[in-house]
């Protein structure tokens, strides 16, 4: 097919819907280098302003998906399911739900990303384990799924090259925050994994991209439409990211938290509560829905119970160690930070909220996260959260512990971290962690 790229930009600019064949041609032209960056960025900005219909978004996803390889797990008989989270601070559930679900015989072929901005990334957490190799080729990935039912890799050259190119361009042209572009980027990569089902963890709140549950729900529905358009089983959990999840944010620290949870442990914090509870319960809920999509049990409650059992009888932990070994990781060498110090409260009161995004940005400052894609991660850097929304804290009681190799960096975020805690005089209750489940 022949068309003028500028005419297609104009069509979208003028609020007209593009035909699937036009979208396919534009994306192919861009991927092959026949359409230059400057025309794609004009198109992206036009999409930012005028949006896309469901049909267009589906066509965009398809074009991005078909720009690369769609993995086939021909030798894997079991259901294949993955989870995608829109990102948050301390969001480490993949490291638990993967082993949990795989330990029950449902395959988890997961292609993950790195952390960027205030949110962390699964690959960075895994790579804090010495030797853990996430840069495995697709044959190795397929083989690992066949053999142990689980693998975590990064996006390869073969997977959605169009998305890789477009994502980098969006980052520098202020076209990240566009629903159809976000949807196509997420779903093309997930569909390339060769999955049968997908559980979406769409977060809202002070630490999420979507600030309100309404916006999160809209994104969830748009993502689900695409998955369903591809005949996949999909459901969404709309979850609360108004405070960091669990006890730690920071790569090797989060691995510690996940392993301890898979060891069946709790951690009673300064507030007298189990600080692993939210990480554990969200991981189990997501695992439960993954199993439920796989038809493991008929009821969601039974699926969650089955998932919970694997944390206490060692099956999840065994699968975790199998996974780490398969990727070349050496758990015994997990690094520990050289320095740590506590940050205490300068006031007393009930904690009514956190500026969670700013906590994530503190994480970037101590190299637990990245501002730019080529920033280096310091694997032991991180923040421990001693308190949760609703806690009463007295002046001088500890709020956070900061960990990391570079003491001067740690000192640099002290004030910013304290300011990220919002106090009030009257008792407050934390909202539910799982706000809503959308199952169809």
Catalog residues that contact its own copies under the rule CB under 8 A.
5-7, 9-10, 13, 36-42, 44-46, 48-49, 169, 171-175
Strands of the 398-404 sheet, one edge to the other: 248-249, 382-385, 398-404, 339-344
Beta carbon nearer to its own copies, 175 or 242: 175
Active site residue 163: yes
State the nearest-atom distance from the C-beta of 28 to its own copies, in Å: 18
Query: Minimal CA–CA distance to 362: which of 117, 97, 4?
Result: 117
By beta-carbon proximity to its own copies, the closer residue of 9 and 262 is 9
Q: How far is the CB of 12 from its own copies (least distance, A)?
A: 8
Q: How far is the CB of 38 from its own copies (least distance, A)?
A: 4
Q: Of the two residues 50 and 398, which places its CB atom closer to its own copies in the complex?
A: 50
Within 10 Å of residue 45's Cβ, how many Cβ atoms?
Answer: 18
Structure tokens at 310: 């694997």
Q: How far is the CB of 6 from its own copies (least distance, A)?
A: 5
Query: Which tokens go with 150?
Result: 């689980």
Q: How far is the CB of 179 from its own copies (least distance, A)?
A: 15
CA distance 230 to 191: 8
Closest CB to its own copies among residues 13, 321: 13
Of the candidates 100, 83, 95, the residue with the CA atom closest to the CA atom of residue 256 = 95
Q: Which helix (H) or strand (E) holds 423?
A: strand 421-424
Q: Residue 84 catalytic?
A: yes
Residue 352 contacts residue 422 (beta carbons within 8 Å): yes
**Which of 44, 200 has the CB closer to its own copies?**
44
* CB closer to its own copies out of 38 and 312: 38
CB 325 within 8 A of CB 148: no
- List Cα–Cα distances, 288 to 132, 199, 238, 285, 367, in angstroms: 27, 10, 15, 5, 33
- Can you tell me which residue has the tokens 């998305």? 163
- Whether 400 and 417 have beta carbons less than 8 Å apart is answered as yes
Q: Which residue has the tokens 């549950």?
A: 213
How far apart are the C-alpha atoms of 345 and 109, rounded to whole Å?
43
Catalytic hit among 80, 92, 170, 280: 170
Determine whether 280 is an active site residue: no
Question: Is 327 in the active site?
Answer: no
Strand 398-404 to 339-344 pairing:
antiparallel
Least separation in angstroms between residue 14's CB and its own copies is: 9
Does 185 participate in catalysis according to the annotation?
yes
Which positions are annotated as active-site residues? 84, 163, 170, 185, 189
């Amino acid at each position: 097919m022949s068309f003028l790229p500028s005419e297609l930009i104009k069509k979208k600019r003028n609020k007209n819907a593009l035909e699937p064949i036009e979208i396919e041609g534009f994306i192919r032209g861009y991927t092959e280098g026949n359409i230059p960056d400057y025309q794609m960025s004009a198109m992206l900005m036009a999409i930012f302003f005028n949006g896309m219909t469901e049909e267009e978004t589906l066509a965009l996803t398809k074009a991005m998906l078909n720009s690369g390889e769609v993995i086939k797990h021909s030798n894997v008989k079991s259901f294949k399911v993955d989870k995608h989270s829109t990102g948050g601070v301390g969001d480490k559930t993949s490291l638990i739900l993967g082993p949990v679900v795989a330990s029950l015989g449902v395959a988890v072929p997961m292609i993950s990303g790195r952390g960027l901005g205030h949110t962390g990334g699964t690959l960075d957490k895994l790579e804090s384990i010495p030797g853990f190799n996430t840069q495995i080729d697709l044959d190795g990935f397929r083989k690992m799924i066949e053999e142990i039912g689980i693998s975590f890799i990064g996006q390869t050259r073969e997977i959605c090259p169009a998305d890789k190119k477009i994502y980098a361009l969006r980052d520098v042209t202020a076209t990240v925050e566009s629903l159809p572009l976000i949807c196509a980027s997420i779903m093309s990569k997930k569909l390339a994994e060769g999955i049968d089902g997908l559980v979406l963890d769409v977060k809202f709140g002070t630490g999420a991209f979507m600030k309100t549950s309404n916006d999160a729900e809209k994104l969830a529905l748009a993502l689900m439409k695409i998955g369903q358009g591809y005949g996949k089983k999909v459901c969404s959990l709309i979850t609360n990211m108004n405070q960091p999840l669990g006890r730690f944010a920071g790569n090797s620290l989060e691995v510690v938290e996940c392993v301890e949870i898979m060891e069946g442990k709790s951690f009673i914090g300064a507030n007298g509560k189990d600080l692993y509870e939210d990480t554990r319960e969200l991981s189990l809920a997501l695992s439960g829905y993954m199993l439920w999509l796989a038809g493991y049990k008929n009821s969601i409650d039974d699926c969650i119970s089955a998932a919970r059992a694997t944390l206490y009888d060692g099956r999840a932990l065994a699968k975790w160690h199998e996974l780490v070994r398969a990727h070349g990781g050496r758990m015994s060498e997990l690094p520990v930070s050289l320095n740590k110090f506590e940050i205490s409260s300068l006031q007393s009161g009930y904690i009514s909220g956190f500026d969670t995004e700013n906590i994530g940005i503190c994480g970037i400052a101590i190299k637990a996260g990245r501002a730019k894609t080529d920033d280096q991660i310091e694997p032991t850097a991180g923040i421990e959260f001693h308190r949760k929304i609703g806690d009463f804290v007295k002046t001088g009681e500890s709020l956070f512990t900061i960990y990391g190799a570079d003491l001067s960096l740690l000192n640099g975020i002290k004030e910013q971290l304290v300011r990220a805690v919002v106090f009030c005089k009257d008792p407050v209750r934390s909202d539910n962690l799982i706000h809503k489940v959308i199952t169809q």
